[in-house]
Chain A
Amino acid sequence: MLWKRQIPILIVAVIGSITLFGWFINEPNIKSFVDDDATQWFDILASFAIFLGGFNLLKMQLQKIFRRQRGWQYSIFAIAGFFLAITAGFFYKGNPDVAWGTHVTADGTLFKWIFTYMFAPLQATMFALLAFFVASASYRAFRIRNFEATLLLVSGIIIMIGRVPLGSFISSWFILYLLVLIGGITVNSFFKNKQYTAIFVIVGIIVVTAAGSSLGWPLDQPGILYLPYLQEWIYKYPNVAGARSIMMGIGMGIFATSIRYILGIEKSYIGE
């Protein structure tokens, strides 16, 4: 129990306290330990955690093969891929002019080949798949059910169109006509009178056309309806306000959780 519970909690408390107070203490030995050696030890343990993950993967895939679990044939590919990368990393450089150690970053090595033609395309394509799913989800699931969803949708659309070059070609007057149309739909849903709707839309079109003609149809005026300007305003002001409040909330939460770990109240890392 002492080895499995108390000592890990003590390690967290001691190391956490030294690291936290190391920000405020100017004692050279403590500062040297916190800033240099403790950091290096952290890096070393992070590396061992990666090795643990790699070996765990190997263990699970081998178990799948030996127990002939469903899809065990594909595990052969996983293990083959793993050993190919390990061979390139530890046994075969592919470029005799490169020293061991720098072969993981140098050109012309098997390791670089695996990175360029296997790892990179696989990783990039996995993420690129999401573009299709986001488009499908937007079409099938994104619905204006209430005012909040409308705000979300409108700000999303303005950012999407306003931030790309195409947005610069959409005139403010097009947006005005669009607003007249949306106004007409709103009037219709409130009054349910086709006459009122028609009058509203016709008058709106006439007013917008007259204003546009008199001003010479400038692309970016009125500025508030020019998408690039509007998205810039949304991006820098109301968006930042919302993002900042989220950031501050998360920041306070992380501070509180870190203190809980250091004080030994939070013990999830030992499974409690």
Chain B
Amino acid sequence: MKFLTDLILKMGTVDRRWIFLVIALVVIIPLFFPLGLPIRATATTQYVYDTIDALPHGSKVLVSCEYGPSTKPEIHPMVLSVMRHLFKNKHKVYVTCLWPDGQFLASDALNLVARDEYGLTYGEDYVLLGFRPGNEAVVKGIVSDLRKLYTIDAKGTKITEIPMMEGVNRFEDFDFLFSASAGYPGTIEWVQYAVDPTNVPMSTGTTSIQVNDVMPYVSAGQIQGILAGMPGAAEYEALIGVPGIGTSGMDAQSIAHLVIVLFIVLGNIGYFIERNRSKKY
């Protein structure tokens, strides 16, 4: 018993670089040897799916991409899945970006899903309006007069020459908003300046870090469901039946979480052993 307690205490003083190595291994090994753990959708993810599924065919959906390369592993899979769902249900998709990096990633997503997978036509089925700087002022601009803010799309084409922009002048002309958000500006700004004043329904996908900031809006009914981080993306992929990057990362995520919990438990066991010993002496 003493040997075990001494071992646990010794592990508490280990160089942190060994911890880094363990974390690296527990993440990388499942990527090479996947376990294939089944994914079950949570209620908030199901709510997003049901909301989008209930939209009448041909609805005008605004998808706003406010994420960058640093948060791509969490948000990009959910953008791809939501786009697949939207195009499958034959909705018209309009993409804006509140982050500059979001424009490249949105373009990649549209090229992959709309152009390559579904063979859709730019300007008739989907359009990339692009990035505009200004944070919440951009959201306000979209609400009041989208055409003043966006005179050209991301390809430099005039808005007036894009067929699917006909009849779209302000935010209220859209039937639904999906915000794929990694921080500021993002979901919260859409809720405050667009959705609450106009009552256009909205769902969102956020990074795991941002989930708790957004949950009160979901609970209050201001947002219809939320895709929470990479697990949320994986759940949505499972719901639409097209596994992707989100699904492939979940095995590694599961094992890594388990290992971190074990670290925490071990650390606390060591703490209690040390506390009892110091009380004794």
A213 to B10, CA, bound (A): 40
Identify which of B19, B73, B212, B257 contacts A161 (C-beta below 8 A). B257
A56 to B213, CA, bound (A): 33
The binding surface of chain B is classed by DSSP as helix
A47 to B130, CA, bound (A): 16
- Whether a CB of chain B sits under 8 angstroms from the CB of A177 is no
A113 to B258, CA, bound (A): 38
Q: In the complex, are the beta carbons of A166 and B37 less than 8 A apart?
A: yes
Q: In the complex, are the beta carbons of A165 and B212 less than 8 A apart?
A: no
Q: Using Cβ atoms and an 8 Å threshold, which residues of chain A touch B3?
A: none
- Whether a CB of chain B sits under 8 angstroms from the CB of A143 is yes
Q: In the complex, are the beta carbons of B71 and A39 less than 8 A apart?
A: no
Q: In the complex, are the beta carbons of B213 and A138 less than 8 A apart?
A: no
A226 to B253, CA, bound (A): 19
A127 to B69, CA, bound (A): 10
Knowing A40-B148, A236-B219, A243-B215, say if A168 contacts B231 (CB, 8 Å). no
Q: Which of A162-206 contact B (CB under 8 A)?
A: 163-169
CB distance from B6 to the nearest CB of A (A): 18
Q: In the complex, are the beta carbons of B148 and A131 less than 8 A apart?
A: no
User: 1/0 contact trace for A39-53 toward B, CB 8 Å?
Assistant: 110110011001000
Identify which of B70, B141, B256, B263 contacts A35 (C-beta below 8 A). B141
Q: In the complex, are the beta carbons of A115 and B134 less than 8 A apart?
A: no
- Whether a CB of chain B sits under 8 angstroms from the CB of A244 is yes
CB distance from B263 to the nearest CB of A (A): 4
Binds A, one of B77-85, B100-108, B119-127: B100-108
Q: Using Cβ atoms and an 8 Å threshold, which residues of chain B touch A256?
A: none
CB distance from A81 to the nearest CB of B (A): 16
Shortest Cβ distance from B138 into A: residue: A43
- Whether a CB of chain B sits under 8 angstroms from the CB of A63 is no
Q: In the complex, are the beta carbons of A157 and B264 less than 8 A apart?
A: yes
User: 1/0 contact trace for B63-74 toward A, CB 8 Å?
Assistant: 000001111110
- Whether a CB of chain B sits under 8 angstroms from the CB of A266 is no
Shortest Cβ distance from B130 into A: residue: A105
CB distance from A140 to the nearest CB of B (A): 7
Identify which of A47, A139, A168 contacts B264 (C-beta below 8 A). A139
Identify which of A135, A138, A165 contacts B254 (C-beta below 8 A). A165
Q: Which of B50-92 contact A (CB under 8 A)?
A: 68-73
**Contact size range, B:** 35 or more
- Whether a CB of chain A sits under 8 angstroms from the CB of B248 is no
CB distance from A250 to the nearest CB of B (A): 9
Shortest Cβ distance from A127 into B: residue: B70
Q: In the complex, are the beta carbons of A142 and B264 less than 8 A apart?
A: yes
Q: In the complex, are the beta carbons of B219 and A144 less than 8 A apart?
A: no
Identify which of A121, A136, A139 contacts B69 (C-beta below 8 A). A121
Knowing A39-B141, A232-B42, say if A136 contacts B260 (CB, 8 Å). no
CB distance from A23 to the nearest CB of B (A): 8
Knowing A36-B148, A161-B261, say if A123 contacts B254 (CB, 8 Å). no
- Whether a CB of chain A sits under 8 angstroms from the CB of B113 is no
- Whether a CB of chain B sits under 8 angstroms from the CB of A247 is yes
Knowing A124-B72, A138-B267, say if A35 contacts B216 (CB, 8 Å). no
Q: Using Cβ atoms and an 8 Å threshold, which residues of chain B touch A106?
A: 155
- Whether a CB of chain B sits under 8 angstroms from the CB of A91 is no
Q: In the complex, are the beta carbons of A169 and B37 less than 8 A apart?
A: yes
Q: Which of A68-86 contact B (CB under 8 A)?
A: none
User: 1/0 contact trace for B137-155 toward A, CB 8 Å?
Assistant: 1101101110011000011
- Whether a CB of chain B sits under 8 angstroms from the CB of A265 is no
A31 to B144, CA, bound (A): 9
A-B contact pairs, 29 of them (CB 8 A): A39-B134, A42-B137, A43-B137, A102-B156, A105-B154, A115-B69, A115-B101, A123-B101, A124-B70, A131-B23, A135-B259, A136-B16, A136-B19, A138-B263, A144-B268, A160-B261, A163-B231, A164-B254, A165-B251, A166-B257, A167-B254, A168-B37, A169-B37, A232-B42, A236-B44, A240-B219, A243-B215, A244-B216, A247-B213
B-contacting residues of A (Cβ < 8 Å)? 31, 35-36, 38-40, 42-43, 46-47, 50, 99, 101-102, 105-107, 112, 115-116, 119-121, 123-124, 126-127, 131-132, 134-136, 138-140, 142-144, 153, 157, 160-161, 163-169, 228, 232, 235-236, 239-240, 243-244, 247
